[in-house]
A and B are shown apart, each in its own frame.
Chain A
Amino acid sequence: MLSAKNITYSIGKKVLLDNVSVDFLPGKINMIIGPNGAGKSTLVKVLCNQIRPEKGVVTFGGKNLQDFSDQDLGQIRSVLSQNLELSFPLKVWEVVMMGRYPHYSIKPGSKDERACEEAMRFFDVYAMADRNYMTLSGGEKQRVHFARVLAQIWYAAENGCRYLIMDEPLTFLDIHYQFQFMHQLVKLLETNDILVVGVLHDLNLTAKFSDQITLINEGKILASGNRKDVLNKENIKTAYRLDPIIVEDTLKNSFYLFFE
């Protein structure tokens, strides 16, 4: 389990996160949503140890985040950030192999090579393994990074679970690959020892695929739980200042939001 307890973080007088507590469960897709400037990315940065909160603790499987070394953490947790830039010519498989860095010291072993190959096949980028990363389109680059972060946690951890944290993973992807990615994520979770935390902007995709949704507004958690509890009229009106039309079909298990 990944949990954040009483996290407070501020820059100057502006409080970005105000006493935020949330638990994320393995085998589930946990999505964080909220309007611009709500504190989603700040929370993700705290979870990734990129910034230290003034108050509160983050624990991975019960162990305090601060007690992990960078390498120990790298072996069980991978992170997909936004806006990755790479200004050197590298082949696609070289980029994916970077995911295996926490696992080998000098030369990658056959296990590392296999993880990369399988992760590339999983996200449909194996065919471009020998292409120059810099010549790829935005969507192709994003899929290469999916393969990289998945290769990093490809094998089950010796004890406890694996963690995958993603900040807006669907940017640059067309609708086909958005759905393909979410379906693959669902498939990945069949093993039950992977915990996924992500930030998404698209509320319909969030509603369709998430097991747990956390809605953040003005640095506080407005609601947390399943889509019915979180994506209701009042919450959306408060967070996004828009009136939604909610269409729900319990028989087909579908749930849609429209805005006018």
Chain B
Amino acid sequence: MGRYSKQYSSIYPVIIVMLVIVMLVSMRYGAVDLSLDEMYSGMQHMFVPADQTPLAERIFMEIRLPRAILCAIVGAGLAVGGALMQALFRNPIVEPGLVGTSSGAAFGASLYFVIGAAFKYNGGEWTLPLAACAGGIISTALVFVLSQSKHDGKSSIVGLLLTGIAINALFLSGVGFLAYTARDSQARSITFWTLGTLSGANWHSVLIVGISTLLCIAVALRYTKHLNALMIGEEEAQYMGINIRKLKLRILLVNVVMVAISTSFTGVIGFVGLIVPHFLRMLKGSDNRFLIIGSALMGALVLSVADIAARMLLRPAELPLGVVTSIIGVPVFIILLRKKNYYF
């Protein structure tokens, strides 16, 4: 047993401590800097009606705290989604966005912004996540169906990535079309999706994204052994007693739900899902039992740092979060592509 647990146990506490520090920093600084005292008394006055507390405490309780928590959860979900997709496709440079999930989710959300109000019946605050989720599922399913070879019904990695690029382009131009035809306020909402930002964070979104993400990660943790086996190959995993079709379907579903719901509240945030699991692999190896928990913690940390950067670089204005993650993520992605030991 010793061998199995030692590898990652040393790294978890380090990430957790760093995450707490970064989240505190993130809550303290922004357009207005808060003191630690104000943050502390804000926590104490949690149940006092908001209009009876000072402005600084209200900023903390209604803006900064939910934002920091949402940021951590979304980062965790995206990184776990990346780890799952990389394991499923047996390739370390896959991320949820590459197979169409996030662009489809953005399209679903845009559709809701533009024509959602025309429907009499809707799911209240769940309508937006549902629309995004449906978009994500449809686009991912499209990528899968279209990339399957006619010959043996299997998806090659090249076919999958190229189909992903095509479907991404299709759905993003769909988003563009909707933004073009939309009224100004709708168009602004759509722009927010495609660039990604946490400025809309509130306790509702924390609750919805939090519950769905934690549930999905819990489900994913049940399949870590199966995902490990998949690293050697689909046929081999089957020889090790695993029902491959069921596994693929479940992991895809978990990933789509998790990524689509996060995306529905924050817009498209790229590259977190790509880089975080990869970095952990270089550090501590590929065992998915630990990689998934590690990705959740590290993803939370990375996105929290990115959010601080997004708010501080052009203070008091704010950079879209997706722009910051892309600026960091693109060079890292290209470096990974150019490394010799990865092949498609």
B332 at the interface (CB under 8 A from A): no
* Residues B4 and A108 in contact, CB atoms below 8 Å apart: yes
Interfacial chain A residues near B4, Cβ < 8 Å: 107-108
Which size class do A's interface residues fall under? 35 or more
Q: Are A98 and B240 in contact (CB under 8 A)?
A: yes
* CB–CB B233/A81 < 8 A: yes
A110 and B1 contact, CB distance less than 8 A: yes
A169 to chain B minimum Cβ distance, whole angstroms, is 14
A74's nearest neighbour on chain B, judged by CB, is B241
Cα(A152)–Cα(B226), bound, Å: 15
A50 / chain B contacts, CB cutoff of 8 Å: 235, 238
**Binding stretch for chain B, among A83-91, A186-194, A248-256:** A83-91
Which of chain A's residues have a CB closer than 8 A to the CB of B238?
49-50, 70
> How many inter-chain contacts with C-beta < 8 Å in the A-B complex?
86
Main secondary structure of the interface of A (DSSP, over half): mixed
B272 to chain A, nearest CB (A): 20
Considering only CB atoms, which chain A residue lies closest to B244 in the complex?
A70
Minimum distance in angstroms from B225 CB to a CB of chain A = 6
Q: Are A101's CB and B242's CB within 8 A? A: yes
Interface size class of B (residues with CB under 8 A): 20 to 34
Question: Would you call A27 an interface residue if the criterion is a C-beta within 8 Å of the partner chain's C-beta atoms?
Answer: no
Please tell me which one of the listed residues A78, A84, A134 contacts residue B233 in the complex, with CB atoms under 8 A apart: A84
Chain A residue, CB-CB nearest to B281: A89
Please report the C-alpha to C-alpha distance between residue A86 and residue B286 in the assembled complex, in whole angstroms.
Answer: 11
The residues of B that contact A87 with a CB separation of less than 8 Å are 90-92, 231, 341-343
- A113 and B4 CA atoms in complex are apart in Å by 10
| Residues in A whose Cβ lies below 8 Å from that of B286 | 88-90, 94
Q: How far is the CA of A50 from the CA of B235 in the complex (A)?
A: 7
Contact flags B85-116 to A (C-beta < 8 A → 1, else 0): 00000111000000000000000000000000
Q: How far is the CA of A101 from the CA of B287 in the complex (A)?
A: 13
A212 is an interface residue with CB less than 8 A from chain B: no
Chain A residues closer than 8 Å to B91, beta-carbon distance: 87
Q: Does A182 contact B (CB under 8 A)?
A: no
Q: A74 to B235, alpha carbons, bound, how many Å? A: 12
- Nearest-neighbor residue (CB-CB) of B240 within chain A: A101
Per the 8 Å Cβ criterion, residues 30-76 of A in contact with B are 48-50, 69-75
A140 CB to nearest B CB, Å: 16
Q: How far is the CB of A247 from chain B (nearest CB, A)?
A: 39
With an 8 A cutoff between CB atoms, is A99 at the interface? yes
* A170 in contact (CB, < 8 A): no
A90 and B239 form a contact (CB under 8 A)? no
Mark B275-319 against chain A: 1 for CB-CB distance below 8 A, else 0: 000000110011100000000000000000000000000000000
What is the CA–CA distance of A148 and B78 in the complex, to the nearest angstrom? 33
Task: Indicate whether B173 reaches chain A with its CB closer than 8 angstroms.
Answer: no
Q: Which B residues, 191 to 241, have Cβ-Cβ distances below 8 Å to chain A?
A: 225-226, 228-229, 231-233, 235-236, 238-241
Which residues of chain B are near A72, meaning CB under 8 Å?
241
Chain B residues with CB below 8 A from A101, complex form: 225-226, 228-229, 240-242
A residues in contact with B235, CB < 8 Å: 48, 50, 79, 81
B243 contacts chain A at the CB level, 8 A cutoff: yes
Check B3 for interface membership: any CB of A closer than 8 A: yes
- Contact check: which of A88, A102, A134 meets B240 at CB < 8 Å? A102
Contact B241 A71 (CB under 8 A): yes
Q: Which residue of A lies closest to B4 (CB)?
A: A108
CA distance in complex: A134, B343 (Å): 13
Within 8 Å by CB of A74, from B92, B240, B281, lies B240
Within residues 226 to 256 of chain A, which ones have a CB less than 8 A from any CB in chain B? Answer: none
Within 8 Å CB of B341, what residues of A? 87, 134
B336 → chain A, closest Cβ, in Å?
12
Q: Are A88 and B241 in contact (CB under 8 A)?
A: no
Closest chain A CB from B214 CB (angstroms) = 19
Q: What residues of B have a CB within 8 angstroms of the CB of A69 in the complex?
A: 243
With a cutoff of 8 Å between Cβ atoms, the chain A residues found around residue B287 in the complex are: 90, 94
A/B interface sample: 11 pairs, CB < 8 A: A69-B243, A71-B241, A72-B241, A74-B242, A75-B241, A84-B232, A89-B285, A90-B287, A94-B285, A101-B242, A108-B1
Binding site for B on A (CB under 8 A): 48-50, 69-75, 77-79, 81, 84-91, 93-95, 98-99, 101-102, 105-108, 110, 113, 134, 152
Q: Which 7 A-B pairs have the closest CB atoms?
A: A74-B241, A102-B241, A88-B286, A71-B241, A79-B239, A101-B240, A70-B243
